[in-house]
Amino acid sequence: MALALAACSNHKSRLDDLGDGQLMAIGGDGAAGGPKQANLDAPPTRAAVTSKTLAPIIHELGIENVVPTGIVISLATAVIDRDDVGQVSAGSVFKVTPETAGSLTYTGTSELTFTPAKPLDFDTTYKVELAKLETRDGVLEPGAGEKWTHEFTTPSFKFLGWAPTELQVDKHKVTMELTFSGAILPNKAFTALAFAIDGKPTTAVNVLASREQNVLTVQLTDPRLAMGSKLALTVQPSLTSYTGAAKAAAATASYTIADTDAVSIKTVAVVEGANGFYLEVVCDDDAAPTGERSYYETESYYNLSERCQLTDEAIAKIHFTPAVKKTYITAGRAGFRVFGDFKRGTYAIKIDSGARSVDGGVMLATYARSFSVAARKPQLSFASSGRYLPRSAWGNLGIKHLNMDGVNLIVRHVPPENLVFWLGNQGSDQADERTSNVLLRKTIPLKGDADASTMSWIDVGSLLPATTKGVIEIKVVGVGGQATSRLLLTDMSLVAKKTTTPGKPWDQQVQVWALDMDTAGLEDGVDVSLVRKSGKTVARCTS
């Protein structure tokens, strides 16, 4: 055997020549210093990040009439690896005028968020500029004649309104949310408020924790609370903002308790699906049957109602800034989902009070929050569906791709003599080094707009010999995604059914039909063999 191998060393195989720039070492024992098998399924080298590919969108993160809580920088391409998400970008230069202390953090692979050390000032125009951006390929600056800037103005400090979030009339409890145009200190703000029930003062009020800095949550507990009770609120002019630099004007508000089943929204999460982004709304509906649904992501909620879904007509009460096209509502995992044509950037959502659920619940308070949508993750798939494709498919093979610059095309061939061993692997139908040979490895550049699904076509048939028989496995591998399909190099398909005589498990019969793959018509004169996993033929027949 050693002599035979030595005699072959001077004769190159077609498999030794994989083309320019393709790395593959065949043979070797893997010992130190010896040749090793390269990773054939690796993606192509990632394209370097440049200032032209960034296309940054800079926008404040906040809802209407409320001071923003941060500034988001959304980029068209990933600038860091996923392991670096959450790190401070020390090499970036982000200027805020008036000068504002804060931190610039990677909140995604293609997104950064500036969080001020203290709330932004009221009635102030802010100008921001991204002068330098730290990426995995170095620090980048805007191109010649280009600036990455944004400007916005904050509102004045004032009381915006109040609304109930939970009514427990049978327990004489009502929970209310007071909304302001900026951050407050809850306990300090509470001292500037006065409450009354049916015109008579009450002090049976407790401050509860709130997720938002501009929202004060209070719970009134009083035996006088009942259906029809009128709650009154007085805001004293001594109420100050978080920093104490601004005072709110005096204001009053009222609310009459009604016999209404409330829909309470707990949180809203941005989720990326196969076709884009959608909002996962977590909520609880008093009108729906009691349930045990839960939600455990960035926040945790449990014992939610069995169902909490707004009606289709409620989409008219859901507003986005900027506007979003093609919005609609569906059922969700812990509430409902809002789909729409969300583009990269920041948004504010507002769901008006009065929106109804399918079980008859009503939103008692307007819900508003802001969120950001990042660049979409890379995607890669074959246009044709199914585990196997006919021979005609390899002349024009479609690839659907999103946010990818290029892919490596790897073609493996399972020759006829190895088909029995390849089929015998019941755990996987993947072609491996034991059952197949690598015929081709080629880097193919891809073009497409950012965040837009694009179709590219590959003529695999022109890259391989027309006489190839057996099974071809085609794999495309890109940075962040891969797809695999297999071509049966035949126009026939077999349908086999095995039956056993009752009480005689050893008496087995296999019936086989040979069909045309395109028309599904029966084929005559086809030689069929029944083969064991070992390769031994146990039966033959002709259709």
In the chain, what are the domain boundaries?
51-153, 159-256, 263-373, 379-488, 492-542
What tokens were used for 394? Answer: 């390899």
Average pLDDT over residues 137-149: 94
Handedness of CA 265, 267, 272, 277 (dihedral sign): positive
Rounded Cα–Cα distance for residues 338 and 350 (Å): 12
pLDDT at 8 over 70: no
pLDDT band at 394 (very low <50, low <70, confident <90, very high): confident
pLDDT band at 390 (very low <50, low <70, confident <90, very high): low
Per DSSP bridges, beta strands 388-389 and 300-304 are unpaired
Amino acid at 525: G
So what's the pLDDT on residue 387?
65
pLDDT at 16 over 60: no
Distances (CA, A) of 124 to 59, 143, 182, 248, 348: 16, 30, 13, 16, 20
CA-based Rg of the chain, rounded to a whole angstrom? 33
pLDDT band at 369 (very low <50, low <70, confident <90, very high): very high
So what's the pLDDT on residue 202?
95
So what's the pLDDT on residue 244?
92
pLDDT at 507 over 90: no
Average pLDDT over residues 272-282: 94
Q: What CATH class is the domain 379-488?
A: mainly beta
Q: Is 300 helix (H, G, I), strand (E, B) or coil?
A: strand
Instruction: Specify the fold of 263-373.
Output: Immunoglobulin-like (2.60.40)
CATH code linked to domain 51-153:
2.60.40.1220
How is domain 159-256 classified at the architecture level of CATH?
A: Sandwich (2.60)
Q: Which contiguous run of DSSP H or E holds residue 8?
A: helix 2-8
Q: Is 119 helix (H, G, I), strand (E, B) or coil?
A: coil
> Which range (59-63, 180-184, 384-388, 490-494) has the least confidence?
384-388
The reply to whether 379-488 shares the fold of 263-373 is yes
Average pLDDT over residues 238-258: 93
- Give strand ranges (E) for 109-212: 111-116, 125-135, 138-140, 149-153, 159-168, 173-180, 193-197, 200-202, 205-208
**In 3-state terms, the chain is what percent helix, strand and coil (to 5)?**
10, 45, 45
Average pLDDT over residues 221-242: 95
What tokens were used for 424? Answer: 């015998």
Do 416 and 369 contact (CB within 8 A), yes or no? no
Short-list 354, 178, 172, CA closest to 260: 354
Apex CA 282: angle with CA 281 and CA 283, to 5°? 115
Rounded Cα–Cα distance for residues 73 and 60 (Å): 9
The number of beta carbons lying within 10 Å of the beta carbon of residue 225 is 22
So what's the pLDDT on residue 531?
85
